[in-house]
Amino acid sequence: MIWFIAAMKCEAEPLSGLMGDNVTCILTGIGPDNAFYSVKKLIDSGKVSPFDKILNVGVCGAGDDIPKGSIHFINKITDMRSGKEYYPDLSLFPGDIDEGHIFTSDDIVTLTKPGELYDEEASAIFEAGQKFFSPDSMLFIKIVSDHGKDIPADEMMKGIISKHKDTIKSALERLSARSSEQEKLLSVPDLRDKLCLTEAMNNDMKNLLRYAKASGKIKAVEDYITELEEKGELPAKNKKEGAVYARRIKDMLTE
């Protein structure tokens, strides 16, 4: 799943045609606090998987030397309140794209500096998102709408975003392809029913099995599960019995 995050409806509407079964839009509202808690709520919901990606698209302010309507893939984010810096990983994208350093404020920046971009959500999205998503799983695309001297109208913002629809579509396709590659590479069996696991225990088991697959140990687990099934010991009769088998799998992979 690609979680398409925008602050305002006018930033998402021009790209509505890109939404689908694999792309879900989340409107956070304006400002870092709204952005932070929207992403935190998403993560806490349990709806995200390790293969999911975040794409944040929105307008931004900029120094006078950066043209209005220009599009930028963000390679560095600075939180103007805390001074913290974050670095999205753009290794998935071609080197000829325009990259930029964005500063996130809790209000509109009116005194801009050359070469700088400004918004109100990016650092908060990254800060909340990094609790679950890796830097190469969060992409930030910003389009310059103003130079801090005027507030652009909704229609104007829709217009400049629409002009970059093809670029954003290509970015979505790259993120989606990467997500599918990772899911195929690290997909693991779901043992919830066989071991009578709770949701939390099943999530822990899946993480353990992904480690097993990445380290080449998954076959030992698969053979153990097959052996238990052939003996008629699986599915487990209750949670207590399932917990015993789960512990044996954990010991097998961590010893």
Per-residue model confidence as pLDDT tens digits over 122-139: 999 999 999 999 999 999
Residue ranges, comma separated, of all CATH 3.40.50.1580 domains in the chain are 2-185
pLDDT at 27: 98
User: Per mean pLDDT, which range of 34-43, 55-64, 147-156, 163-172 is the poorest?
Assistant: 147-156
Fold of 2-185: Rossmann fold (3.40.50)
- 217 pLDDT band, cuts 50/70/90, is confident
Q: What is the pLDDT of residue 81?
A: 94
Place 215 in a pLDDT band, splitting at 50, 70 and 90: confident
| pLDDT > 70 fraction of the chain, expressed in percent and rounded | 99
The rounded percent of the chain whose pLDDT value lies above 90 is 70
- Compute the distance between CA of residue 47 and CA of residue 72 in angstroms, rounded to an integer: 29
Answer yes or no: is pLDDT of 206 > 90: no
The confidence band for 204, taking pLDDT boundaries of 50, 70 and 90, is confident
Over 80: is that where the pLDDT of 183 sits? no
Confidence of residue 33 (pLDDT cuts 50, 70, 90): very high
**Mean pLDDT score across all residues of the chain:** 92
Look at residue 104 and tell me whether its pLDDT is greater than 90.
yes
Length reported for the chain: 255
The pLDDT score that the predictor gives to residue 50 is 83
